Amino acid sequence: MNPFLERSRSYACPEVRQIKVLQMKWPRIILFFLLTVYSAVLMWIDVQWGQDQVRGFFSDITSGAEHPLPYRAFFGINTTLSVVMLSGIALLFAVCAQCSRQRDLGRRIRIFEYSQILFFLYLAADERLLIHEKLASMVGFEDAFFILGLGLVELVLLFAVGNVARQPWKVSGWLLPAGGFFGLMVFVDACLPEQMVGRLSVEDLSKTWAIFFLLNYAWQYAMKNTSFPTPKNSDAD
């Protein structure tokens, strides 16, 4: 019996009885639209005025005191957005892990869910504290390869521990665009000239989109594995 499908037929544990109400298509469509507009605006600034004018939006979360107020208001916005989404992914897996522990759904599932909590909490900290950049500088190699290594670790966790191949397509399908944008980010970071027009925006926005699709994966995973059973003829998302 597939544990992921089996869990989708079981009743939700108390912590998530209200979460089903939020499982709607329109919020996801609206977020997709807003992120598209956000990405287009930053790309336009990069192409029109260059990296120096757009770099602050992709920078660390700092005061940016030397910049005008309108610029400071959105300084580091992409970093903030990424940290929030990565933390949200970890939180969703924490809810799943709590349910797994209460319902004794198996050691392998719990290991996978706890590994995802730790993995995405690390990524959120890395995004804010530049951990991988500092480590790469210490050992003297391109930081893009460090990120590539993290991606390989996640692949191992997904396939060897998470049994992603047996997860419903509605859940695992979100990993395909996430992987595509992740690959684009690594390629741009490692292979394209640093001063190339649009390079900075493509690299950082690819990361943001990869995280967005991973958040959708985590959401669908939580919905499938913590929700009430639905009738076979249900139109629920």
3-state secondary structure of 106: coil
Answer for the pair 195, 177: CB distance below 8 angstroms, yes or no: no
Q: Which of 231, 170, 204, 206 is nearest to 28 (CA)?
A: 170
State the DSSP code for 50.
Answer: -
How is the chain split into domains, by residue range? 14-226
**Which of 8-17, 160-169, 182-191 is predicted least confidently?**
8-17
d(CA 211, CA 189): 17
| Residue 113 identity (one-letter amino acid) | E
**Average pLDDT, stretch 11-37?**
69
Predicted pLDDT of residue 21: 45
| pLDDT tens digit sequence for 115-151 | 999 999 999 999 888 888 788 778 877 788 888 999 9
Lowest mean pLDDT among 53-57, 87-91, 161-165, 172-176: 53-57
**Inter-residue contact 94 to 77 (CB < 8 Å):** no
